[in-house]
Amino acid sequence: MTRYLRGLFIVWVALRYGLDELVLNSFKRPWLSGIARVLSLGRDLRAPRGQRLRQALEHLGPIFVKFGQVLSTRRDLLPVDIADELAQLQDNVPPFDSAIAIATIERAFRRPVGTVFASFEREPVASASIAQVHFATLVDRDGRTRDVAVKVLRPGMLPVIEKDLSLMRMMAGWVERLSDDGKRLKPREVVAEFDKYLHDELDLVREAAAAAQLRRNMAGLNLVLIPEMLWDYCHPDVMVMERMYGVPISQIERLRQAGVDIPKLARDGVTIFFTQVFRDGFFHADMHPGNIQVSLAPATFGRYISLDFGIIGTLTEYDKEYLAQNFTAFFRRDYKRVAQLHIESGWVPPETRVDELEAAVRTVCEPYFDRPLKEISLGLLLMRLFQTSRRFHVEIQPQLVLLQKTLLNIEGLGRQLDPDLDLWNTAKPFLEKWMLEQVGPQRLIDELRDQAPRYAKMLPDLPRLLHDFLAHRPSDDRHQLKELLAEQQRTNRLLQTLIFVGMGFAVGVAVVLIRFRLF
C-alpha cells in the first residue's frame, strides 16, 4: 500500500507542476499541444518550464534530485533554459532550518555547538539532496584556529529513500516479468546497486573514510586536492573536514580571467578519472560541477578540488582488466578484439558469431572517432550500443552502472570546459601505459614480491602436513598418492626451469632497454 501511495504522490507532483504539459508540448504535433492546453486549465503554469521541472524534482526527494543533477550536465541533450535551472540542484537545493543542523551537531558531539567550534556560520554555504554544509572555525588541541567545513545530514532522509527504493523494486519486478529484455537488463540487480550506494551516502563516517582513501590515492598525481578529514569530529550524522578555497568549475569565464589553462583543465579531468578507475579501481562517482572547484592559490594553481564523497564506485581486478582491454581495443579500432572480449567474458552467449558482433560494434563506433566532444555524444553512443546489445543478448552488468553514470558526468564536464577536446586521443596514452604495466616485467617482479611472504610461511609446514596426510590414508590410496607426488615433482622441476628461463629473459630484455635508453 505504501508503494502505491508513493506512486500516486509522484503522479500528483507531476500534475501539480505541469510536467504532463511539458511532455506533450515537446512533441511537434498540433493535436498533442491542444490536449496539453486542455489539461492545463485550472492550473497555474505561468512559471518557466525549467523552474517547474526543478521544483518537482526537489519536491519528490533525493533520488529524483540526483537524477536532475545527472541531467544538468547533459547540455547536449537539454534546452539551455532547462539545463541552467537543473544546475541549481547541484548545490542549491532549498536548505533545512539551521536550528535543526545545530541540534544535530550538538546531539552528535553531546555538547553545545559553541564549545565545539570557535565560530559557526548559521547560514549554509551549500545545500544538496542529502546534506548541507556550514563553514566554521575550529580550535585544535594546540590552541591553533583552523577553518573547517561542517557537513550535516538532512533529517528524515531514510524513510523517503526507502519509499522510493521500494517503488523502484516493484517496478523492476514488473520490467523483469513483462519485458522481453527483463532478464538481460537485470533491473532488480541494478536497483540493488542503487540501494547500496544511497544507504552508504547516509553514513558520513563512511563518506569520510572514502575521502581519506581517495586523498591517499591521489597524493602523488598533483592534479587534484581532496580535503583532510578531522576524525575527532566525524559522526554518522556530522562530518568536519578541512575547508577548501576554490572557484566552482562551472564559472569558466572567471577561471579563464584568472589565467587558468582551460583546455589543460579538461585533459587533467580525463586523466584523473582514468587513474581512479583503472589504476585504483576506486573512483569519485558523483562528479557533477557542484562537487568540483579549481584552486587559484599560487602553490596549487589550476588543480581540481574534489568535494562530496558520498557516492564512491569500486571495481574488481577482473573488471579493471576487462574494461581496460575493451577501451584499448576501442581506441585502436580493433573491433574484432572487442567482440572476442565480450564472448570470453560471458557477456554474450558463447554461440555468438565474432564477425557479426564485430561488424555491429564497428557500425556504432566508427563514426565517432577523430572528432571533438562538440561533435559527438557519449549519451547517444551508449544508446546505440544499448540497441546493439539487445540484438546480441548482451547481459547488463549492474556493477558498471555507476561507472557509466560517472563517464557521462565526465563527458558533460569536458564538453563545458573544452568542446574541442579529443576524448579518445587524451585517454589512449594513459590506457596503453597502464596495460603495459599490467603485463610487463615490473608486474611479474611485483607479484613475486607480494606472494613471497605467503609461500615462505607455507613451505616449512609442507613436510608435516604431507606426513600427517599419508599416515591417515589407506595403503592403496597411499601408493597412488606416491605416484602422483612423483609426477608432481617432475612437473615442478619443469615449471621451475620455465620460470627461471622466463625471469632471465625478462631481466635480459630490461638490460637491453636500459642500455639503449628505451626506458
Report which listed range, 26-40, 361-375, 498-512, is most confident: 361-375
- What pLDDT is recorded for position 514? 45
Residues 24, 409: Cα–Cα separation, whole Å = 28
Q: Is the pLDDT of residue 382 over 70?
A: no
Higher pLDDT, 470 or 182: 470
- Secondary structure (3-state) at 283: strand
Q: What is the mean pLDDT of residues 430-435?
A: 72
Higher pLDDT, 231 or 414: 231
Q: Is the pLDDT of residue 500 over 50?
A: no
Question: In which band, very low, low, confident or very high, does the pLDDT at 511 lie, cut at 50, 70 and 90?
Answer: very low
Question: In which band, very low, low, confident or very high, does the pLDDT at 278 lie, cut at 50, 70 and 90?
Answer: confident
Residues 52, 23: Cα–Cα separation, whole Å = 12
- What pLDDT is recorded for position 506? 46
Question: In which band, very low, low, confident or very high, does the pLDDT at 515 lie, cut at 50, 70 and 90?
Answer: very low
CA angle 18, 23, 27 (to 5 degrees): 140
Four-CA torsion 440, 442, 447, 450, nearest 10 degrees: -160
Q: Is the pLDDT of residue 315 over 80?
A: yes
Residues 242, 187: Cα–Cα separation, whole Å = 39
Of 258, 275, 354, which is closest to residue 320 (Cα–Cα)?
275
Q: What is the mean pLDDT of residues 466-481?
A: 61
Higher pLDDT, 45 or 355: 355
Q: Which residue has the cell 553512443?
A: 381
Question: In which band, very low, low, confident or very high, does the pLDDT at 323 lie, cut at 50, 70 and 90?
Answer: confident
CA 293 to chain centre: 18
Of 313, 343, 312, 352, which is closest to residue 325 (Cα–Cα)?
343
Residues 452, 258: Cα–Cα separation, whole Å = 52
Burial pattern 1-20, b for ≥16 Cβ within 10 A else e, equals: eebeebeeebeebbeebbbb
CB–CB of 64/55 below 8 Å?
Answer: no
Report which listed range, 353-357, 412-416, 492-496, is most confident: 353-357
Report which listed range, 108-112, 391-395, 465-469, 500-504, is most confident: 108-112
Of 194, 204, 210, which is closest to residue 280 (Cα–Cα)?
210
- What pLDDT is recorded for position 372? 67
CA 51 to chain centre: 28
CA angle 69, 73, 77 (to 5 degrees): 115
Q: Which residues contact 88 (CB under 8 A, 6 or more apart)?
A: 54
Q: Residue 378 CB: number of other CB atoms within 10 A? A: 21
Residues 148, 293: Cα–Cα separation, whole Å = 16
- Secondary structure (3-state) at 242: strand
Higher pLDDT, 99 or 450: 99
- What pLDDT is recorded for position 294? 95
Residue % of the chain over a pLDDT of 70: 66
- For residue 484 the three cell numbers come to 602422483
Higher pLDDT, 437 or 337: 337
Residues 214, 277: Cα–Cα separation, whole Å = 11
CB–CB of 417/82 below 8 Å?
Answer: no
Q: Is the pLDDT of residue 123 over 50?
A: yes
Residues 266, 423: Cα–Cα separation, whole Å = 9
- What pLDDT is recorded for position 370? 67
**Residues acting as catalytic residues:** 286
In sequence order, the β-bridge partners of residue 312 are 284
Phi, psi angles (nearest 5°) of residue 227:
-65, 150
Q: Is the pLDDT of residue 299 over 90?
A: yes
Q: Is the pLDDT of residue 217 over 70?
A: yes
Residues 92, 95: Cα–Cα separation, whole Å = 8
Report which listed range, 85-89, 143-147, 215-219, is most confident: 215-219
- What pLDDT is recorded for position 510? 47
Question: In which band, very low, low, confident or very high, does the pLDDT at 287 lie, cut at 50, 70 and 90?
Answer: confident
- Secondary structure (3-state) at 475: helix
Average pLDDT, the chain: 76
Q: Is the pLDDT of residue 193 over 80?
A: no
Phi, psi angles (nearest 5°) of residue 409:
-60, -45
Specify burial of residue 232 (Cβ count, 10 A radius: 0-12, 13-18, 19+).
exposed
- What pLDDT is recorded for position 118? 92
What is the Cβ-side half-sphere exposure of residue 515, based on CA atoms within 13 angstroms? 6
- What pLDDT is recorded for position 440? 58
Question: In this predicted structure, which of 165-179, 436-450, 502-516 has the lowest mean pLDDT?
Answer: 502-516
Q: What is the mean pLDDT of residues 463-484?
A: 63
CB–CB of 146/138 below 8 Å?
Answer: yes
- What pLDDT is recorded for position 237? 94
> What's the chain's Rg over C-alpha atoms?
28
Which tens digits make up the pLDDT trace of 48-107? 878 888 888 877 777 777 667 666 655 555 677 777 777 777 666 788 899 999 999 999
End-to-end Cα, the chain, rounded Å: 66
3-state SS string over 327-366?
HHHHHCCCHHHHHHHHHHCCCCCCCCCHHHHHHHHHHHHH
Which tens digits make up the pLDDT trace of 383-412? 566 566 667 776 656 556 677 777 777 777
Identity at 317, one-letter amino acid code? E
- For residue 426 the three cell numbers come to 587524451
Identity at 322, one-letter amino acid code? Y
